[in-house]
Structure 1
Amino acid sequence: MTNFTTIEASARAKAGKGAARATRRDGLVPAVIYGAKQEASLIALDPRTVMRELIKTGWRSRLYEIRTEGAEAGAATRALMREVQLHPVSDRPIHVDFQRLAPGEKIKVAVQVVFTGEETSVGLKRGGVLNVVRHTVEVNVDPDHIPERFEVDLSELDINDNVRWSDIKNAGDVIPVIADRDFVIATVAAPTVVEEPEADAAAAAPVAVPAKGAAPAKGAAPAKGAAPAKGAAPAKGGVAAAAKAPAKPAAKK
């Protein structure tokens, strides 16, 4: 049996932008229910109710029973949440569109794909990578038989294996929108190995730097401003030559 999520709503008397703004000022979210060859119904929702549904996965394929305040006891409208408009700054819901479900009339809906067996998958354990082609599959189905999700078992998949629509076990009587081929749902791709280029030996060779205070190599010029070694003769014409020792005093007669 198909499960429906119940939503409480209140009726709105007027349509239009002005009426919608007034609904928002009252702290509610304006919404509309259309379809099934009936007149559109104007309702208002608690924003917390809308956000509660949006944070759940697969809200586009979830079935709702909308109970409007003041309606006859037991009366409820079955619908799908088709579109939610959010505020561009705050991301709060500002309008919701529902599609009314008609008994026996097939509808197009996107059903979520859920993957199992990843821990035991042969290909994934060998280093393969799961490549998901479709997170949801659009199908045409009777409203009373909409599957909650499609399950895909990955446990038997090796590298380069794939899962197609025909491999889904719980598809039931649904008809995929893509009906001209057995399309791919997911594949197990081979791991990608990136080889690093060999470094240039010449560029990688270390450059010798003399230690601090070490004597320069034989024949090398001393560093600018460096003091001569202790006991070494000063260079000809160097600074030491200019500072000659004073001459001996002349002997007294």
Structure 2
Amino acid sequence: MMTLNAEKRDMSVKAKKLRREGYVPGSLCGKDLKEPVALKISEFEAERFMRKNMKGSRTVLQVGDQKYNAIVKDVDYNPLLKRIMFIDFQLLVAGEKISTTAQVVLLNEGLAKGSVDEEISEIHYKADPADIVEKVYIDFEKLGDKKCVKVKDIKELMNDKIELITSEDATIVDITEGSQYVEEDETAEGEAEAVAAS
């Protein structure tokens, strides 16, 4: 679990000004807090943190002398500016279930026997902090002839400690046969036409 340094934010300073000064605004909320904690995080630290983490990742937030066990609840990212605009954290409390997401990670996609259609990239669920699953992996090298992977196929999520919000029958990935062969056929036809023309 990675530690992220943050500072309490002065709410009289607008977010736009904070960003100009090299900070990413953020907030920490949770039932055990009297009120949400407004944060500011060095843009360098925020980018370094998000390169290794994502929505649903656990972290230790170091705010001054105080440490908080938290989870990344949401990240507002501007793809045009290629900048993190805001990060929301939620306090983790033992024995208190929270709503969060497991990110889907595809492995060895080049070994898939056909065209891969990823229908969902994250799975929503509720769990106690001790049972959080940050990532689930689909390894195409191990799928064999399987053409469809559903949420219920992910063993880590199918237990009484995980309360699924995403339907267990939801399709994560579909593998469609034929697309790679169509491309080969078109190439062969093009070569035949070139030979005939010569």
TM-score above 0.5, yes or no: yes
Partner-residue secondary structure (3-state), 2:49: helix
Cross-structure match for 1:48: 44
Q: Is the 8 A contact 2:4 2:49 kept in 1?
A: no
| CA deviation after TM superposition for structure 1 residue 25, in Å | 5.2
Instruction: Name the residue aligned to 2:69.
Output: 78
Contact 1:112 1:149 in 2 (8 A): yes
Provide closer, same or farther for how the CA distance between residues 27 and 134 of structure 1 changes in structure 2, counting only shifts above 3 A.
closer
Structure 2: distance between partners of 1:93 and 1:183 = 30
The structure with the largest alpha-carbon Rg is 1
**Equivalent residues of 1:110, 1:136 under 8 A apart:** yes
List gaps (5 residues or longer) in structure 2: 187-196
| Paired residue type of 1:55 | R
| Structure 1 Cα separation of the partners of residues 72 and 100 of structure 2 | 10
SS at match of 1:170: helix
- Paired position in structure 2 for 1:237: none
Q: Counterparts of 1:136 and 1:95 in 2: how far apart (Å)?
A: 20
Partner deviation per Cα, 1:178-206 (whole Å, 9 max, x = no partner): 34x5222222212143888xxxxxxxxx9
- Hey, what does 1:8 align to over in structure 2? 5
Alignment partner of 1:53: what SS?
Answer: helix
Partner of 1:163: 149
The CA distance in 2 between the partners of 1:118 and 1:88, in whole Å, is 24
In 2 relative to 1, CA 184–95 (structure 1 residues): closer, same or farther, beyond 3 Å?
A: closer
Structure 1, unmatched stretches of 5+, are 197-205, 207-253
Instruction: Give the TM-score normalised by structure 1.
Output: 0.59
Distance apart, 1:7 and its partner CA? 0.7
Q: Give the stretch that moved more between structures: 162-171 or 23-32.
A: 23-32
- Measured in 1, the distance between the counterparts of 2:91 and 2:138 equals 30
Find the aligned partners of 1:106 and 1:62 in 2 and give their Cα distance: 15
Residues 157 and 188, structure 1, Cα contact 8 Å, conserved in 2: no
Which residue number corresponds to residue 29 of structure 1?
Answer: 24
Q: Spell out the pairing of 1:111-150 with structure 2 (5 A cutoff).
A: 111-116=102-107, 124=113, 128-150=114-136
CA distance in 2, matches of 1:153, 1:164: 13
- Count of residues in correspondence between the two structures: 182
Following superposition, the deviation at residue 176 of structure 1 comes to 1.8
Q: Which residue in 1 is equivalent to 2:54?
A: 59
CA contact (8 A) 1:5 1:62 kept: no
Q: Matched residue of 2:156: which SS?
A: coil
For residues 50 and 10 of structure 1, what CA distance do their matches in structure 2 show?
12
CA RMSD across the alignment = 3.2
Q: CA deviation at 1:22?
A: 5.3
Deviation at 1:62, TM superposition (A): 0.7
Per-residue CA deviation, residues 202-246 of structure 1 (Å, 9 max, x unaligned), is xxxx9xxxxxxxxxxxxxxxxxxxxxxxxxxxxxxxxxxxxxxxx
**Cα distance, 1:151 vs structure 2:** 2.3
More helix by share: 2
Partner Cα separation in structure 2 for residue 113 and residue 87 of structure 1: 21
CA shift, 1:67, in A, is 0.8
Please report the TM-score for the alignment, with normalisation by the length of structure 2: 0.73
Amino acid at match of 1:112: Q
Higher relative contact order (CA 8 A, sep 6+): 2
- Report SS of the residue matched to 1:59: coil
- Counterpart amino acid of 1:42? A
Amino acid at match of 2:39: I
Going from structure 1 to structure 2, the CA distance change for 1:22 and 1:190 (only over 3 Å counts) comes to closer
In structure 2, C-alpha distance between the alignment counterparts of 1:22 and 1:135, rounded to whole Å:
33
